[in-house]
Structures are given as structure tokens and as C-alpha cells.
Chains A and B, each alone.
Chain A
């Protein structure tokens, strides 16, 4: 990304509009420079964005300054530490979201996040939903259930811990008219990546 900034100092003259799939790392040694996020709005035809966060004990910093193009229909976040508010702040910029994948640890302070955090979200939410590890969480699910336009996911994959069985069941029922494929896995730490690989999710 640093080389991108050096090569294309003027965003309008960059090939950003040709990019469909963007993968960014933050909070780690090889992270994207913060300045790069001033350019992300120029990726006007981007369809999928994947955010990787590694090695942070504090909430990852990306959501506060990231500006994402509304063309994005698929969002994936894989991080060690992120808050529900940060996830919401990313999602709220993407009114055409179809696919959502969240994996990693939620910041504990979010456990008592007040109701209504998902009311500002817009999206189609008609593709695939993947909630893994601590992101397979009641707070995350309740945020999604608060989306005013409802949920129409076709595939739902939830790999979490026991405490969220009730929420997972509620989420599946909320997608009742559209849901075709459901994967629900309970493990001790919510980690069961290989299950999904074996079965092609």
C-alpha cells in the first residue's frame, strides 16, 4: 500500500476504479498506511473488502478513519480485537452489503452495548453470513436483528460457543423466508475452522 501511495500520489489518476477485491491489513507489522484510507473512496467499483487485524491488545484502529465506497457488497473482518461499535461504523458505510463475515475477538466492554446499535444499518443482507469465534455473539446477532430492512441471508454459518444458541436460533428464524443453508457449530472456544473447509462453506 505504501508503494501504491508513492506510485499514484493523485487518487483520481490511480487505477483504483478497476479494483474489485481489496484486502487490507491493519494493526500489524505489514499494515496499510493510515494515509491509504484517504484513498479508499476512489475505489468506486470495489465489490469486496477484507480487513485483517493482527497482534493488537487494544481495539484495532481502522474504523475511526476508514472511508469505504458504497459499491462494496461483501465485507469480511478477521481481527484479534475489535469492538461492536467499530464493526457497526464500518458496516454503516456500506448500504449495499450482501455478504458479511466476522471473525475474531470482541472487546469485552461491548457486552453491555445499549440496544439500537444496529438501527442505522442498511443493506440487502441477502448473501452469506459467517460469524466465527467471539463474533458469533449475542450482541453481534442482536445488532443484525435490529437492521430496519430485515435480513435475507441465504447461507448462515455460525461457529461459536454454547451461550449464543438462543441468538443463533433467532437469527436463523429471522432469515426464515430465504435461508437455504445453515451451519451451526459449537466448540469450546468457538473455533472450528476445519469443519467449514471440509464441508465447503
Chain B
């Protein structure tokens, strides 16, 4: 029953460690609402755009809301530009979700909410 769920830190092309796991929402067909909050960054945030990329109308037909809230004030990563790249890709995914779901999904991306 137990699956291999250990977290893997893999060096990417520039030697920075990144997390190679993400949520695969294509395997969760009844999903309606997703909240993701990040108040502490380590290993970049590539998992956020990767997670968002798994939201498609065909595999998440009941999705109605997705909210991403983040703060990078407490990053442990010295290279802040890579985090900004991850967040730009996340914003692109949010835009895609709005477009592909045709207004059926309330998608929001909020930076620095006061409680994170």
C-alpha cells in the first residue's frame, strides 16, 4: 500500500536544487477548488507552474476556483531571478486556465497576502 513518496532534490542545469514533484490534477477528475499558498521558498517554485499545467478542461471538468497566494520574502534560494521565472510561468498558466476554461473558473494569483 505504501508508495515511494520520498522527496527528491535534483540538480537542474545550473546546479541549483529543485523539487521534482508536483500535484498532478489530471488524476483528480472531481476537483472543484484549489488553494495553494507559499510563504517560504526553498528549491525554487517550478512545482507551481508544473502543477497548474495539469489543469485542463478535459481532465478537470468541475473546476470552479483556483487561488494561488505567495510571498517570496522568506526565500532560502540565493538566486531570486529563477523564482521570478517560476512565478512568471505560473502567471502564464493562470492566464491559460482563464482562457481555456472560458470564464467557468475563478482564477486568482495574489502576491504577499498579509498572513504569509
Contact = CB atoms under 8 A, between A and B. Distances in A.
A145 B3 CA distance: 8
Chain A, interface SS category? mixed
A162 interface: yes
Query: Which of A142, A167, A177, A192 is the most central at the interface, judged by chain B CB atoms within 10 Å of its CB?
Result: A192
A178 B22 CA distance: 19
Contacts, number: 117
A162 B42 contact: yes
Interface residues of B, number: 36
Interface residues of A, number: 44
A169 B69 contact: no
Given A172-B28, A179-B31, A180-B33, A188 B5 contact: no
Contacts of A188: 39-40, 74
B39 A166 contact: no
A186 B40 contact: yes
B70 to A, nearest CB: 9
Contacts of B5: 138, 141-142, 145, 166-167, 170
